[in-house]
A and B are shown apart, each in its own frame.
Chain A
Amino acid sequence: QVQLQESGPGLVKPSETLSLTCTVSGGSLSTYFWSWIRQPPGKGLEWIGNIYSTGSTRYTPSLGSRVTISLDTSKSQFSLKLNSVTAADTAVYYCARDLYMSVAGDLYTWFDPWGQGTLVIVSS
């Protein structure tokens, strides 16, 4: 079965770039979307963006141009870069696969599975 594992620094300084990698095992990156989702401590979930296996990306408008998601199919990995971070970017960051189902021309998507999550603290 597919498993996802996040990795990267747990501490990032303000104004610097947060970089995380998600390694996918037990399955291929092909024909799926792959997402990053975050959760500030004690708060709710926020979708950051996703990437399709072809490299096409979509990002949440609120994070705008600060976000870049990329793919390395040779390593079965996809990555997140978030630049100009502030304390508000402190969160547990999850990677997840977007499963999808097409019904009468509509594409239904949901997140499964998820990685275990990694806490990133933004602090000097």
Chain B
Amino acid sequence: DIQVTQSPSSLSASVGDRVTITCRASQNIGNFLNWYQQKPGKAPKVLIYAATTLQGGVSSRFSGSGSGTDFTLTISSLQPEDFATYYCQQSYSVTFGGGTKVEIK
């Protein structure tokens, strides 16, 4: 099975900060990589699919980059509503990363 490893597992940041989360796949998955945001007690919500495509209705401060084995989710200017846990998911054989919890500094 293809594994995806996220880093860091958690981070503390302030409102307005630029935040970067990385996801590394255990083998080449092309652009088969999605990003989700999950808030406590809620279902995950897709932010980015096919590595770089912003889901409709999602703020443009979220962006995705990468291809092959290394991918990045960037939040350009962290807002209060962005404090959550973020997951990457490879859609080649469907596994999720372990998650990155973004907390308030």
Residues of A at the B interface (CB closer than 8 Å) are: 44-47, 60-62, 94, 96, 99, 101, 103, 106, 108-117
Contact = CB atoms under 8 A, between A and B. Distances in A.
A108 B49 contact: yes
Given A61-B1, A108-B32, A45 B44 contact: yes
Interface in B24-46: 30-32, 34, 36, 42-46
30 contacts: A44-B96, A45-B44, A45-B87, A45-B89, A45-B96, A47-B89, A47-B95, A47-B96, A60-B94, A61-B1, A62-B1, A101-B50, A103-B50, A106-B31, A106-B32, A108-B31, A108-B32, A108-B49, A109-B91, A110-B34, A110-B49, A110-B55, A111-B34, A111-B36, A111-B46, A112-B55, A113-B43, A114-B43, A114-B45, A116-B42
Interface of B: 1, 30-32, 34, 36, 42-46, 49-50, 55, 87, 89, 91, 94-99
B96 A46 contact: yes
A115 B46 contact: no
Nearest to A60: B94
Contacts of B96: 44-47
